[in-house]
């Protein structure tokens, strides 16, 4: 089948996914339900890949953004590798068929059990976040008579200018080793028997919407890579992290080309391959959360509450970060726009999915989509209020299938005695 539309667009009066009816999906699977466009996921991955041109690079998709098996399998088929931030993400990646040498392992608090497992697997790199962690990895590897492949996560003291909860590159943030300390550490890493430094790593934050922090991080990485070379450390690659933002509200954001060019330009003199760890920019726009209006009630003289069946339990970002997601009815009704406060069903006043939205008139039973929910959506869902995790559906080549079923009451009780 030839796809005429990729992603979420209006076909006649109805919002569709790759031309497939969202109304039909909601009818068959119920709501709330996550719906992903395989075509859009492929397109975004390929666009990012192409943006690096012929410069040697590897895309290590960040599982933390969304690691539903069918989605990571699709990315694997396109050539993606993995950025994992827990042993469990490492194991999910292995269950999806990724080799240990396709996995980099991040995270500011890795337990000894996790580190031992990572050393045993001989991952592409354990990205260490402190001198203490470096010492723990070294001791574990020495005990096992192994050589652990490590990367050092540098804290470059760069302001990502993103939400404070997802800015990670400032000195005051808990992540990485300060650049000056890395400078001093590098010459001491030569000739160690139980660790091999294979890369330097930066990740200054997520949802970065301006180029400056990206350029600054790339330059810092290039400087440190040069210093490593001068100190006689032969790096295998540099890891530039993830972080590229997406346009939740229609505002401008850097393109994949801008992002890749900044790294290639800064790092070309090092001649080292570039690893990137994107999550949101690949999968964010490729998913929506589909929900149904449960109730309407007056709010102020000019606005109404629209209570929908998806809230902070299914999509935590609005409650957690005050994040904006575009919300629109699947089938727009005729009539002037009205003001709605779209709220979830959870027993918290903070459970607001969209504030003061001007939408065509809603009626109880109508379907709405919450856009750009592919990243940090289903992965952050919880069972608060004993709400089951929502189903997830993948639309591909004109049809769709359930890639994660909705939790049942039996699932909810399965761990309890
Ligand atoms: C170390 C690391 N790498 C990659 C990512 C993915 O970031 P993003 O989804 O913004 O591309 C994150 C998320 O913040 C991260 O912490």
| 118-142 pLDDT tens trace | 999 999 999 999 999 999 999 999 9
Close Cβ partners of 301 (under 8 Å, ≥ 6 residues apart):
none
236 alpha carbon – ligand 1 mean position (Å)? 21
Residue 208 predicted with pLDDT over 60: yes
DSSP string, 242-274: --B---SSS-----HHHHHHHHHHHHGGGT--E
Q: Which two tokens stand for residue 376?
A: 């940090």
As a whole number of Å, the CA-based R_g of the chain is: 23
Identify the helix (H) or strand (E) that includes residue 211: helix 211-230
| 178, HSE (Cβ side, Cα atoms, 13 Å) | 5
Write out pLDDT tens, residues 342-397. Answer: 999 999 999 999 999 999 999 999 999 999 999 999 999 999 999 999 999 999 99
Q: Which of 104, 108, 126, 206 to mutate to test the pocket of ligand 1 (most atoms within 8 A of CB)?
A: 206
Cα–Cα distance measured from residue 288 to residue 375, given in angstroms and rounded to the nearest whole number: 10
**CA 377 and chain centroid, separation:** 9
Residue 94 to residues 5, 72, 75, 338, Cα–Cα distance (Å): 33, 11, 14, 49
What is the residue with the minimal CA distance to atom 12 of ligand 1? 242
Interaxial angle between packed helices 87-95 and 112-121, expressed in degrees from 0 to 180 and rounded to the nearest 10: 40
Q: Is the CB of 392 under 6 A from ligand 1?
A: no
Residue 3 predicted with pLDDT over 70: no
Write out pLDDT tens, residues 56-111. Answer: 999 999 999 999 999 999 999 999 999 999 999 999 999 999 999 999 999 999 99
Measured CA angle at 272 (ends 47, 126), to 5 deg: 90
Cα–Cα distance measured from residue 346 to residue 263, given in angstroms and rounded to the nearest whole number: 43
Q: Which of 92, 47, 33, 46 is nearest to 66 (CA)?
A: 92
Beta strands in 115-157 (DSSP E): 125-128, 148-155
What is the residue with the minimal CA distance to atom 14 of ligand 1? 206
Task: Find out whether 258 and 211 touch, Cβ atoms under 8 Å.
Answer: yes
104 alpha carbon – ligand 1 mean position (Å)? 12
Write out pLDDT tens, residues 137-192. Answer: 999 999 999 999 999 999 987 777 777 776 677 777 888 899 999 989 998 998 89
108 alpha carbon – ligand 1 mean position (Å)? 12
């Amino acid at each position: 089948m030839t796809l005429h539309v990729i992603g979420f667009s209006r076909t006649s009066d109805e919002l569709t996914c790759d031309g497939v009816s969202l109304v039909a999906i909601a009818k068959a699977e119920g709501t709330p339900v996550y719906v992903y466009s395989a075509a859009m996921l492929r397109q975004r991955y390929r666009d990012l890949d192409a943006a690096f041109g012929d410069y040697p690079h590897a895309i290590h998709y960040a599982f933390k953004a969304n690691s539903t098996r069918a989605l990571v399998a699709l990315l694997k088929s396109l050539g993606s590798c993995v950025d994992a931030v827990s042993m469990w993400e490492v194991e999910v990646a292995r269950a999806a068929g990724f080799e240990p040498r396709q996995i980099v392992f991040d995270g500011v608090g890795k337990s000894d059990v996790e580190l031992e497992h990572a050393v045993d697997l001989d991952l592409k790199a354990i990205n260490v976040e402190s001198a203490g962690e470096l010492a723990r990895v070294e001791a574990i590897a020495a005990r096992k008579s192994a050589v652990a492949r490590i990367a050092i996560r540098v804290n470059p003291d760069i302001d990502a200018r993103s939400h404070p909860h997802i800015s990670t590159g400032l000195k005051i943030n808990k992540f990485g080793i300060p650049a000056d300390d890395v400078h001093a550490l590098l010459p001491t890493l030569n000739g160690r028997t139980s660790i091999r430094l294979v890369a330097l790593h930066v990740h200054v934050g997520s949802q970065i919407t301006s180029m400056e922090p990206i350029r600054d991080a790339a330059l810092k990485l290039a400087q440190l890579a040069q210093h490593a070379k001068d100190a006689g450390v032969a790096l295998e690659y540099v890891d530039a992290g993830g972080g590229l933002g997406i346009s939740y509200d229609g505002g401008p954001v850097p393109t994949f080309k801008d992002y890749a060019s900044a790294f290639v330009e800064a790092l070309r003199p090092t001649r080292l391959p570039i690893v990137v760890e994107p999550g949101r920019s690949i999968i964010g726009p490729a998913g929506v959360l589909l929900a149904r209006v449960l109730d309407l009630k007056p709010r102020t003289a000019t606005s109404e509450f629209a209570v929908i069946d998806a809230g902070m339990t299914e999509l935590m970002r609005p409650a957690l970060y005050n994040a904006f997601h575009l919300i629109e009815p699947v089938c727009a009704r005729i009539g002037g726009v009205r003001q709605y406060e779209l709220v979830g069903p959870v027993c918290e006043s903070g459970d607001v999915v969209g504030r003061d939205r001007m939408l065509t008139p809603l009626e109880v039973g109508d379907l709405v989509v919450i856009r750009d929910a592919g990243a940090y959506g289903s992965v952050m869902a919880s069972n608060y209020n004993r709400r089951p995790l929502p189903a997830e559906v993948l639309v591909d080549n004109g049809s769709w299938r359930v890639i994660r079923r909705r939790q049942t009451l039996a699932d909810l009780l399965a761990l309890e005695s």
